[in-house]
Structure 1
Amino acid sequence: MKSGQMAIDFLKARGLVLVTAESCTAGQILAILGKVEGCGECLELGYVVYSEDAKKNVLHVRDETIRTYTLTSEHVAREMALGALQKSKANIVIATTGLTGSEPMDGVEPGTICFAWGLKHNQEWRLYSETKKFKGTRSEVQVDAANYALESLPKIYHRLNSDA
């Protein structure tokens, strides 16, 4: 709950409204935030797009991007973030895609999570993405990745909001 309270306080203080686009975290980001009283002031919508088809059909992730970079890639996370922003009135987004299972897939090790954060700045969308490796069970990786996404929000916001 600590990361959720911190994120809600941060969003409220800046008048930000969040949309999420989650795959491997399976709604954990929104679940953490939803436990915080008053979260409705700064949450608009959460997408859980677990399958490849959902990513393509709901958030308009391009088939070419998936074929070229695989589902566990920053490229896919960035397209998920943009797709969520384009379908939302929110002004900030967090997106996750990755591998929480116990077996490698497409050359990607378990626990590999790709994140994308986006912010509307001076009538343009700015994106930042990164990949991080987590250890633990499937559910531990999901919760740890969700907390990381929320705890990173202030740092990423300041990076995206700078005019530099």
Structure 2
Amino acid sequence: MNISKQIVGYLKSRGLVLASLETCTAGHIATMLAELPGAESCLDVALIAHTRAALARLPGIEPLAIANGPGDAAQNEALARALAEALLVQRAVGREGANVALASVGWLSVGQDGRAAAAHGLAWACRQRDGVSSASETVLFTGRGAEVKRSIARRALLGLPRFVDSLALAR
């Protein structure tokens, strides 16, 4: 089964609605899901930001949390986590709003040979009765630009059920 079908099925089976925010993947994560029939029932909003300045203008984000320049791996991970949490809080509009969010933050550095590298921060957040829970990780991706974007999108999507299921186990 492909990842998109797997994730849409997972979201639907648990009554989850996703909000996502992407930087260098430029909407690849949302596109992977939105292409499937019935995805509208489990995809609330997908945001794409190509600059840190754009991220800083999002509601609920502290401007000081967003440094100028590409940032390092730790900054990208912390920023991804803050963005996932803020996006989830911002989208909490009753039963129709998102109850899970993912954020993918990093910028590709393309070399002379066309190969790219990204120290990418990935984060997932989930609304629960007692607030918002979140998790994050940093992963180094290398390869051709398009390969890196696909790898980031796959890792972000596959991390969502792993994260949500870990919350259920922790109860």
The two structures have a TM-score, normalised by structure 1, of: 0.87
Query: C-alpha displacement at 1:139, in angstroms?
Result: 1.6
Partner Cα separation in structure 2 for residue 51 and residue 115 of structure 1 = 17
SS at match of 2:67: helix
Bigger fraction of residues in strand: 2
Partner Cα separation in structure 1 for residue 12 and residue 158 of structure 2 = 15
Query: C-alpha displacement at 1:37, in angstroms?
Result: 1.2
Matched, 1:55 2:55: yes
Query: C-alpha displacement at 1:71, in angstroms?
Result: 6.9
Query: C-alpha displacement at 1:162, in angstroms?
Result: 3.6
Partner Cα separation in structure 2 for residue 27 and residue 85 of structure 1 = 18
Task: Describe the superposition over 1:95-139 as per-residue Cα deviations: whole angstroms up to 9, x where unpaired.
Answer: 001122315xxxxx9221110000012231001000111121122
User: Please, what is the CA RMSD of the aligned residues?
Assistant: 2.2
Query: C-alpha displacement at 1:159, in angstroms?
Result: 1.6
Q: Name the structure 1 match of 2:25.
A: 25
Query: C-alpha displacement at 1:67, in angstroms?
Result: 3.1
- Residue 147 of structure 1 aligns to which amino acid in structure 2? R
For residues 6-155 of structure 1, the aligned pairs below 5 Å read: 6-67=6-67, 70=71, 73-88=76-91, 89-102=97-110, 110-155=117-162
- Residue 80 of structure 1 aligns to which amino acid in structure 2? L
Gapped regions of structure 2 (runs ≥ 5): 92-96
Q: Percent identity?
A: 28
Number of corresponding residues: 159
